[in-house]
Structure 1
Amino acid sequence: MSALPDSVSSVRRVATRIESDQQALDIAHALAPAFAEGAAERDRDRRLPFDEIEAYSASGLWGITVPREFGGAQVSFATLAEVTAIISAADPALGQIPQNHFFMLDVLRVNGTREQQAFYFERALAGDRFGNALSERGTKTVRDYRTTLTPDGAGFRLNGTKFYSTGALFAQWIPVVAKAADDTLYVAFTAADTPGLTVIDDWSSFGQRTTGSGSTVLDDVYVDAAAVVPYSAAFDARPTTVGPLGQLIHAAVDLGIARAALADARRFVRERSRPWVDSGVERASDDPLTLELFGKLALQLDAADALLERAGRSVDAAAAQSDERTVAAASIAVAKARAATTEIALQASTRLLELAGTQSTLREHNLDRHWRNARTHTLHDPVRWKYIAVGNYYLNDVLPPRHGAL
């Protein structure tokens, strides 16, 4: 285990200022090949992607959701989802790491004061990264919190322990979700080098191994009142896009995994796999059973792709006019995309090994990383509940529950 490395607080390049959706997509496509090149080795050796994250944030892509009135491109959430899918196809750890960054920027957008928005949005545009200290282990449900926010003079003290702190190891700012004495939840935007705050690299999952999603320990951490933003109000007080946006990005990560798995399956079957002896064909790529499975996977992937794009547009519409119905429609659209991307990520990463054959399991190829990444990331929240939400919405007109980034 190691604490937050000094390199996180070192002098960094000033980020590019992206001005349009198309520029964001072009930059994502330009970055992806370099990120993909070492992805298998980073996963195999569990080498945390500090250099890649620095290049990613310096590209300006971490600031693309900042509203135009604060100098940002304010790209559509559909574009954000596609940028995430492009990067995730190269390396899904890199796709997931900024998920909470964008989530917390949306919390600021809907709940922050004008002064808070101006300050933190400018930091995001400059290339600063926001991690997270949101979830905890050992509570009754994922919505229960033990971390406390207690008054202390002109500010507050934070005490508690977080886990699943994706992005915190790489961040300049660590937003901490904590509860006040009346159980109301707030986000304290805490500088990563604040005394008493320790990020521990103890993430040991078999998948998404390089996201650094370990522990954050808060030992009497002081935070100024100006850095504290309401959190639960984004879900309980009124309908907002914060929850659907967080889920949309997760769906995009899974879509990226599926794209990469199917691409590797195509390459391996075409270049290395042997036909089965009973198939009567010369090439594995001509096996009719293989062709059938590839056809089904391609269809599922295209369907998931379309559902993700549609979900992004729905979140955009809800952001433009947020009320119970528009946010519910966005949540349902995202639930569909989450279900579809979960299924294709698991199917593509499993069928890859089946279709490519025994040699695809050799350690030198590390193709099992696709399944390990898919299986780990799709456990983020149970997809079986997405079908319940969708069915209840269409059959009984029941609006889906409003959640944060579970």
Structure 2
Amino acid sequence: MTRQIVVGGGEAVPPPSWPRQPASILRTADEALDAADKIASLAARDAVKRDREDLFPGAELDAFSASGLWGITVPAEWGGADLSYTATGRVIVTIAAVDSSLAQLAQNHLATIAAIRSAATEEQKADLFPLVLEGRRFGNAFSERGTKNVSDLRTSLVPAGDDVVLNGIKYYCTGALAADLIQIVAIDQNGLSQLAIADRNSPGLTVFNDWTAFGQRGTGSGKVLIEDVRVPVSRVIPVWKSYVPEKPFPDSAISQFIQAAIDAGIAQGALRETEQFIRTRTRPWVDSGLEKATEDPYLIQIIGSLHVRLSAALALLDNAGRIIDAAIRDPTPATVSQAQIAVAKAKILTTELAIDAADRLFELAGTAATDRSLGLDRYWRNARTHTLHDPVRWKYAIIGEYYLNDHLPPLHPWS
């Protein structure tokens, strides 16, 4: 990004500059985790300032994508590290613990890599994967408003010779503000979902900076207006194929897995802040007779409980990552459903823990922690906003149906 963007200004935003700093090529999980630690340290420096002043993390995003972390799931046969999803999840947790908006900016990018892997032709992979490895970023244009439900999409895709023409309007477009390529989900004339990869500077494609949510401010997840946008047929991916019941791919599990990792990171960051505040500022309760808040047995019990649940959440994420990897190697209805169920378990716990840990921060730290200059409320606002992506009450139902009635989870991006 070449200029500082204040999120929510409402204006149309031009594409980011290119070329930028070339992206590194990471090869191992250790390299990826080391890079994640460095990006987390960079993001932590001004995290409170960015949240308080509604600043888009442009410099941090450029460093994040240049680190090579946005290419770690590209298959090895196309030059990528093809890292496990266990390692990928740990990368996302590390960054989300200091800036969950920055972590979420990579979510749809990584999900698009999964879609290319599962549904694109070999020619499309040869076109798109090298772009990812050189540092190009995907931005989302998926969700819509005013329809019957989240899967009822109205954006159209009509053949026009060697191109297709798209029309529609998208909302909650995470990553689009600073993307080089916009992945647009549209419905073709047969009612099938297609993923059209449009250049960010395509005529008729306008990205608006109008994100006004109280949390995840740094994602800049505004709307995208699509007016007679032309995309070459060669960049239209039949993503519906990933959700065919007889031959599915674990794309939905991958998308949900990254969302769960973001929530785990929020919980981890909130818990760290809680402990630091208690050690340095929280006073013992008047009736305790204690010298320090860190000696309070009730407080100690709650901190211990949060750590137990965080360890369980991280273990569920690791396990889900392993099961996703197995489903990628051998995609069948059974292995894909196993991945979905494993991710659903993790998603339930990370959702509930992120909200609880962010709330407990204030209960345990005390009134002084509500000082706006500290920016500690960002954890709760981010947790509450991000966990609205899909309701965990339906995750419980999916898991119960799977074990009690042998019903496989529904095949769509929210399960």
Aligned partners of 1:58 and 1:9: how far apart in 2? 13
Residues 137-171 of structure 1, C-alpha deviation per residue, up to 9 Å, x if partnerless? Answer: 11111101110001112211110000010000111
Aligned partners of 1:230 and 1:39: how far apart in 2? 38
Aligned partners of 2:52 and 2:408: how far apart in 1? 43
Aligned partners of 1:34 and 1:297: how far apart in 2? 27
Secondary structure of 1:300 counterpart: helix
Secondary structure of 1:217 counterpart: strand
Paired position in structure 2 for 1:229: 237
Paired position in structure 1 for 2:122: 114
Verify the 8 A CA contact 1:3 1:201 in the aligned structure 2. Answer: yes
Paired position in structure 2 for 1:210: 218
AA of the residue aligned to 1:222:
R
Aligned partners of 1:64 and 1:236: how far apart in 2? 27
Aligned partners of 2:12 and 2:322: how far apart in 1? 40
Question: 1:83-94 alignment to 2 at 5 Å?
Answer: 83-94=91-102
Verify the 8 A CA contact 1:65 1:74 in the aligned structure 2. Answer: yes
Matched, 1:176 2:184: yes
Paired position in structure 2 for 1:359: 368
Verify the 8 A CA contact 1:103 1:405 in the aligned structure 2. Answer: no
AA of the residue aligned to 1:65:
T
Aligned partners of 2:310 and 2:225: how far apart in 1? 40
Verify the 8 A CA contact 1:206 1:372 in the aligned structure 2. Answer: yes
Verify the 8 A CA contact 1:207 1:369 in the aligned structure 2. Answer: yes
Matched, 1:404 2:410: no
Secondary structure of 2:389 counterpart: coil
Paired position in structure 2 for 1:197: 205
Aligned partners of 1:147 and 1:192: how far apart in 2? 17
Secondary structure of 1:176 counterpart: strand
Aligned partners of 2:350 and 2:124: how far apart in 1? 35
Q: 2:173 aligns with which of 165, 176, 200?
A: 165
Residues 315-359 of structure 1, C-alpha deviation per residue, up to 9 Å, x if partnerless? Answer: 011111110111111000000000010111011000001100001
Matched, 1:320 2:343: no
Q: 1:387 aligns with which of 393, 396, 400?
A: 396
Aligned partners of 2:262 and 2:12: how far apart in 1? 27
Aligned partners of 1:158 and 1:239: how far apart in 2? 26
AA of the residue aligned to 1:241:
P
Q: 1:45 aligns with which of 23, 38, 53?
A: 53
Verify the 8 A CA contact 1:254 1:341 in the aligned structure 2. Answer: yes
Paired position in structure 1 for 2:263: 254
Paired position in structure 1 for 2:382: 373
Paired position in structure 1 for 2:317: 308
Matched, 1:71 2:79: yes
Paired position in structure 2 for 1:269: 278
Secondary structure of 1:334 counterpart: helix
Verify the 8 A CA contact 1:258 1:346 in the aligned structure 2. Answer: yes
Aligned partners of 1:256 and 1:348: how far apart in 2? 11
Matched, 1:331 2:340: yes
Residues 369-392 of structure 1, C-alpha deviation per residue, up to 9 Å, x if partnerless? Answer: 100000000110001111111111
Secondary structure of 1:74 counterpart: coil
Q: Cα RMSD (Å) of the superposition?
A: 1.0
Unpaired stretches in structure 2, ≥5 consecutive residues: 1-9
CA displacement at 1:405 relative to structure 2: 5.0
Paired position in structure 2 for 1:350: 359
Aligned partners of 1:324 and 1:280: how far apart in 2? 60
Verify the 8 A CA contact 1:265 1:352 in the aligned structure 2. Answer: yes
Scaled by the length of structure 2, the TM-score of the pair is 0.96
Q: Kindly report structure 1 stretches of 4+ aligned residues shifted beyond 6 Å.
A: none
Aligned partners of 1:199 and 1:360: how far apart in 2? 37
Instruction: Identify the range of structure 1 (245-254 vs 33-42) with the bigger mean alpha-carbon deviation.
Output: 33-42
Aligned partners of 1:33 and 1:112: how far apart in 2? 36
CA displacement at 1:236 relative to structure 2: 2.9
Percent identity over the alignment is 48
Paired position in structure 2 for 1:281: 290
Aligned partners of 1:43 and 1:403: how far apart in 2? 32
Instruction: Identify the range of structure 1 (310-319 vs 389-398) with the bigger mean alpha-carbon deviation.
Output: 389-398
Residues 192-243 of structure 1, C-alpha deviation per residue, up to 9 Å, x if partnerless? Answer: 0000000001111000011011100001001111110102221135211100
AA of the residue aligned to 1:382:
P
Secondary structure of 2:13 counterpart: coil
Residues 26-83 of structure 1, C-alpha deviation per residue, up to 9 Å, x if partnerless? Answer: 1111221111111111111110011111000000000000101000000001111110
Relative distance call for 1:103 and 1:405 in structure 2 (3 A) is farther
Verify the 8 A CA contact 2:29 2:83 in the aligned structure 1. Answer: yes
Paired position in structure 1 for 2:227: 219
AA of the residue aligned to 2:227:
D
- Aligned pair count reads 405
Aligned partners of 1:299 and 1:150: how far apart in 2? 52
